[in-house]
Chains A and B, each alone.
Chain A
């Protein structure tokens, strides 16, 4: 298990290889479908200090607001990442984001982007919402809650020992690509004999 502390340098994420298990601590931000569309249309300055050297978590949490107005995460597993494929490479490069965390992996455009910006794709276990919410120790802030709603807002969170696996690295390695290639072969045999 490799411990990663945020913010993290490009050199540190470049060292990571497909299959590495990591535990992440520090500040990161959630962003999913509506957030990525918003970024791509606006490229807001205010996101720079939040994103630089940090990680984006593809997650739409179940949250609880306490009487003092503060928030906590109740359920917070990853959402399917491939929907951000049109945007992610550009977002990572623009804001110097070192990693994205999600599930299901991403495509060729993101894989090429990781090679360029030295980032990694980290896989969290989908449906592990109850356990992963425990790794979110504090909700620091939330941005655009009214505009985007609870699942799609930018939640600025502090995590401790958040578990994930490197499934795409900056050296062209992609677990998703290799599993797909094998299953394509089997499917071909089953369908065409």
Chain B
């Protein structure tokens, strides 16, 4: 039976939240640095990247949030058989409230009817926690912080789309993605990273899209067709010239990650989850011994 000390785990979860809010993952930082080098010497884009990189360093050094919008807190938790979900949920809630007290997180949960902010970042559906049982003998907590600006430019299409001449095939998928990124401009804090969900229903399509954002920047899609499409989209979308923060430049998108789900014969959804450059995600593994490691 998997065992853990509740108080210790709450503190370990608090550290996971601190890391997610203040320490941008290495693969993302490397990608931003490469994009900066690719922009022209003396351009606005290059200077914007310089400020972004300075901010990333400062946030890490001082343990303050990279962005004041600490976003929706999305947890994917993998558990061995027999580990209770309600207790882990309670501990995540406890760590969340403490993270607000420590100014790692902003109180971000607003009652949709009354407009009242709950004050501790906990509310209906917040944080979002999804559990899955697996065969491993340890627990994995994946955490992503997704801000409202980039969530607002995320979108969903259904094919065919007459206006865009987009049919029910990969060419149609390509067209709606170009349309979405052009519509987003700099509003979602470009350069963005796209999680794409092809197929599914209204809900699972978006879920597939968002799940793609847990992949590393440098990985390759195991599906050869999607791998090729990710690479083509990345280079074509960067022709749009939106640039970092919409100031113009060669970098509009840093990465494209695509996933699929079977669909109904009647439905063909394409969901686009736009992630800002402040692409905050970390994970924590907890072993039965109590030992933790962070990635």
**Could you list which residues of chain A lie within 8 angstroms of chain B, going by C-beta atoms?**
34, 59-64, 74-77, 79-80, 82, 103-105, 123, 125-131, 133-134, 148-152, 165, 167, 175-176, 179-180, 182-184, 186-187, 190-192
Contact = CB atoms under 8 A, between A and B. Distances in A.
A134 B61 CA distance: 14
Given A77-B67, A183-B182, A175 B247 contact: yes
A184 B242 CA distance: 10
Contact of A77 (B62, B68, B242): B68
Given A152-B117, A179-B241, A187-B179, A127 B107 contact: no
Interface stretch (B3-11, B49-57, B130-138, B207-215): B49-57
Contact of A128 (B51, B175, B185, B240): B51
Most B CB contacts (10 A, CB to CB) among A182, A184, A190 go to: A190
B149 interface: yes
A80 B64 CA distance: 21
B59 A129 contact: yes
A82 B62 CA distance: 31
Contact of A75 (B52, B65, B187): B65
Contacts of A128: 51-52, 55
Chain B interface mostly = loop
Interface of B: 48, 51-52, 54-55, 58-59, 62, 64-70, 103, 105-108, 110, 115-117, 119, 148-149, 152, 164-166, 175, 178-179, 182, 185-189, 236, 239-243, 245-248, 252, 276-278
Nearest to B59: A130
Given A128-B52, A187-B178, A103 B189 contact: yes
Contacts of B64: 62, 74-75, 129-130, 133
A99 to B, nearest CB: 18
B65 A74 contact: yes
A134 B278 CA distance: 19
The winner among B48, B69, B178 for most chain A CB atoms within 10 A is B69
8 contacts: A79-B149, A127-B189, A128-B52, A129-B59, A149-B110, A150-B117, A179-B247, A187-B240
Given A61-B68, A127-B278, 6 more contacts: A75-B59, A123-B247, A125-B52, A182-B241, A186-B241, A191-B179
Contact of B236 (A149, A180, A190): A190
Contacts of B70: 62
Contact of B246 (A105, A130, A152): A105
A1 B196 CA distance: 41
A149 B118 CA distance: 8
Contacts of B69: 60, 77, 79
A43 to B, nearest CB: 19
Contacts of A34: 115
Given A80-B152, A191-B165, A129 B182 contact: no
Nearest to B70: A62
B245 A60 contact: no
* B116, B182, B245 interface centre (most CB from chain A within 10 Å): B245
Given A34-B115, A151-B106, A179-B246, A127 B240 contact: no
Given A76-B68, A77-B67, A186-B241, A127 B55 contact: yes
Nearest to A133: B64
Nearest to B244: A125
Contact of B239 (A82, A131, A133, A186): A186
Given A80-B152, A104-B187, A149-B119, A176 B246 contact: yes
Closest 4 CB pairs of A and B: A149-B117, A187-B182, A75-B68, A75-B65
A103 to B, nearest CB: 7
